[in-house]
Every structure is written in structure tokens, then in C-alpha cells.
Structure 1
């Protein structure tokens, strides 16, 4: 990918070092998650059209104290995002969240509509409840190709060894070990994307294991005051499939959907040109 001049910085907040990285030109697009991982997944072309602002949350941030329960609360993440917006001078911005970070983007838009113009979720299911995820498991069992299932079996053995060796990086090893479920090419090697990414496992365990499991998507969508785009990959076996969104949609102000037929969990990288087109059309 073409190199762009980046403005990097950090804010100190409640013992955490929240990093950020700004690249590109144009109207701002705030992208929640690791400021190290996510710049590697968006195209150079997008940076010629929009100013991409990548920001950490506490799960990806170095911390100089013990991690407490309040650090894992969604309201704490929202307060951090507000502080980052204030530091970066973002009176109003478009916002994007990929995977579990989609819930953060959705919640921020719901809570702070004055700060958000349009919201984009990428590779995010309606929630991670056992019922919703079971739908995806049935599709995997019935429709996933034998080569993809065989690759997963091999990767899970490798993942188990990596977690035993470095349990503090369990989130990263799980993401890599589930590659056959999360990439259109089941043999794609995503290790470079995770290079030098810091993770705090207690925060991921709570957010992904409890908060997103119980997230009230119907309430969030019914209270949304700004336009919403939901991008899903047809071959994403990591989260619940696009069809599971339908029962949660409100009668009015329904989201716009974009389905990427040759993508799995990360269409911004797997089908970059088409993703950029759909994203920029929505944001225009």
C-alpha cells in the first residue's frame, strides 16, 4: 500500500495510553479499534478521498495500572471516544467500526448524535448471543467447503499451542486461528496485520464475551438519528450472517446494507475497490 504521511499521537486517560493515527485528506472518518492494526486494512485510494482517523480503545492500549471492571464497560469506552474527539477537534465526524467495534460505533452514534454524521458497521452481526451465533454455526456446518473446514482444523491445533505459550495474546491467536472462517481465501496469512498490536485480554473477554452478547441492537437501531450503513461479507463465518439482522430492523429509518460476494470478515481489504465505492457513495 502507498505510504501516506501520518500524524500520530496519544492521550493519557485514566492510566491508559490511547493512541491515534491520522492519514489522508478530506472529511474525517473516525475508525474505532487499534491505531496499529486498522490502518493496514484500508486502501490507499480511500486516503485520497477521506481523512482516516484511527483511534485505540482500552482493549488495545498500554495501561500502567491493574485493569478494573469499569475499564470494560461500554460507557467507559464511549467517554474515551468523546475525549478523543475533543482532543482531535472533531465537532462532527463520520464513524466506522469493524467486527465488535461496530457495536462501539453504533452506541457512540446513539449516545452522541450531535458528534456523528453517518455511521458504518463492517463485519458486525446484530449481537453475539448464543441464538444468533447458532444460526451462523448451522450455515458453517451445512455449506462451508471441505477445504475450508480442513484448514480450520489445522489452524486450531496451531492456535492452541500459541495460546498456551502466550496466553496474554489470546485474542490475537484466536483471530489468526480462525482464519478459515474469517477470510475469503482460507489460506490467507494475516500475521503481518497483527504485528506490534497490544491487547488487554480482560477487556476483550468482557466486551466480546458479555457486552456484545447482550447488546440491545433493536433499541439502538430504533434510537438512531443518523444514517447507518452495514457492510457484510457473504463468506464471513466469524459472525452471524447478514440475514440475522432482519428481525432487528425498525420499521422506519432502516439501515442501508452492502453485501460483498467475494469477502468474508474484512471486505475493506478483501474487496477494497468495491468497498471504497460503496462506502464513499454512502458517505457523500
Structure 2
């Protein structure tokens, strides 16, 4: 398992995916927050086009627990991403952030704009820009699934959880996927064992984000940015995700039809074509 030591001595692991493809590696930052990068697989076959480097954030997957749990905070994880770039020997790197990893990718681009060649934000709620998903966002997206056979059982539990009147319930996991098939069920079932819940509580804690500063910094970013939203995703509904385009000057926006929060599972061919073409320039 390849690994390196970050700024504070914490050993961080990363995974190489794909058959090599062409060009420099694409650095992939996982979401969750604080879910081991294993859930990303090879991003639906994207590794056939570009070698992928999937980072296990500190305290997740094969990476070590840090001495200071406060370093799980998103803004402090930026230094781990930069340490990975140095370890890989890249002057500039292409970066893909999924879900919560999108905020980490945004903070890294804001702090080190000269180190980013291209940036893709995949179904990423832009917390770092002060744009969280609301219960209304999620419920509006959920109602789009009314024709699904599991909807009548899942929606009341989902609504109760979002409004603070119920606990998290596996019944409503189908809302996070465009297709609730066997692959989606297996993917959802692995979530609990792959996620460091204590670290997730710290990830977006007080002080993690400074939206005005990040917005101003992104205005000076010269790297092309792809914002990809899932048509059925409530975490970052397309209209919320589109808001990122207001702050990064060289941005492309795409909506993947029929996709939920994990678009590479819902339609791998569509996803790899769109994202692969973006990184191919």
C-alpha cells in the first residue's frame, strides 16, 4: 500500500486505480465526510482513461489516526492534500472531489491556486462557499422519486429525519442513488464500516470554512472547473451546485440525467465520458 507522511508525521495511504491510462495521475478526494476512499472504486471505469490516486484521509481506510483529532477539520486537511502533491512530485495536479470532498478540493484550490491544473466537483455540496443543502432541497429531490416502488415506505422516514423528528434509517438510502439495484445496496451497506464518525463530526466544525475568503480566492483561480450535479441528487441539487459557477471564472456545469449522489454507479458510461473529456482538455 503506497503511503507518505504528512506535515505532522501522520502516515497517509493512497490507492492506485485503473490500468494507467494516459497523463499524470488524477488525485481524488473522497466524501462522506471522512469515508474511506474504497467506496469510490475506479469511478465507473474512469481509471481506464487516467491513472487515479485515491487518498484515504487521515483516520480513514488505511491511513493512520492523527495524534490531534482537531486535524480532521476540513481546512486543516488541505495540508494533507498539498503534502500528497509534493509526494507525487507534481508541479500542478488535476483534482476531483466528491461530495464533502468537494469542499476540501475548493479550499485547496483557494489556498494553492497555482498547484491546480483542472478541478472537478462531483455532486459536491458547496459548504466551503456557505451554500449548504437544506431539508427543503433534499425533500424536493426526494419527491421526484414518487413513482419508485420503495417511495411510500421511505419518504416518511426521510422527512422525519430531515426535520429532526426521527433517526437515520436505512429505509431511505434509495434516495441517494439513481438506481436502487444490487450494486447500490452493496455500496450503501458498506458506508458504516468505511466511515470514521468521530472524524466526520469534526470535518465541518466551527472554523472549518470562511466562505467570503474562499469566494474571493476562487475568483482568482485560472484552472478550469467542472461542476457535475446529479439530476436526482438532493445533497447538492442542480440549482445549488450551479451556484459554484458564480465564484470560479472558468467553470463548466453539467447535470447527469437520472443520477443520484454517486453518478458513476448510476451510469458509468455517461459519467466517465463527461469527466474523462473534461480532464483530457
Q: TM-score w.r.t. structure 1 length?
A: 0.75
Aligned residue-pair number? 258
5+ residue gaps in structure 2?
31-35, 162-166
8 Å contact kept, 1:30–1:55 = yes
Aligned to 1:121: 121
Q: CA RMSD in A?
A: 3.4
Q: How far off is 1:92 after superposition? A: 1.7
How many angstroms apart in 2 are the aligned matches of 1:130 and 1:48?
34
Distance 1:248 1:91, change over 3 A: closer
Aligned to 1:36: 38
Aligned to 1:167: none
- Give the SS at the match of 2:120: strand
How many angstroms apart in 1 are the aligned matches of 2:89 and 2:238?
35
Aligned to 1:150: 152
After superposition, residues 116-265 of structure 1 pair within 5 angstroms as 116-127=116-127, 132-140=133-141, 142-145=143-146, 147-152=149-154, 178-186=172-180, 188-191=184-187, 194=190, 198-208=194-204, 215=211, 218-219=215-216, 221-237=218-234, 239-247=235-243, 249-250=245-246, 253-265=249-261
Distance 1:214 1:51, change over 3 A: same
Q: 2:278 aligned with 1:282, yes or no?
A: yes
How many angstroms apart in 2 are the aligned matches of 1:76 and 1:193?
29
- Give the SS at the match of 1:114: helix
- Give the SS at the match of 2:14: strand
Aligned to 1:88: 88
What does the per-residue CA deviation read over 1:106-144, in whole Å, with 9 as the maximum and x for residues that have no partner? Answer: 221221122210000001123386874144135146544
8 Å contact kept, 1:218–1:249 = no
Q: TM-score w.r.t. structure 2 length?
A: 0.76
How many angstroms apart in 2 are the aligned matches of 1:77 and 1:19?
14
How many angstroms apart in 2 are the aligned matches of 1:278 and 1:191?
22
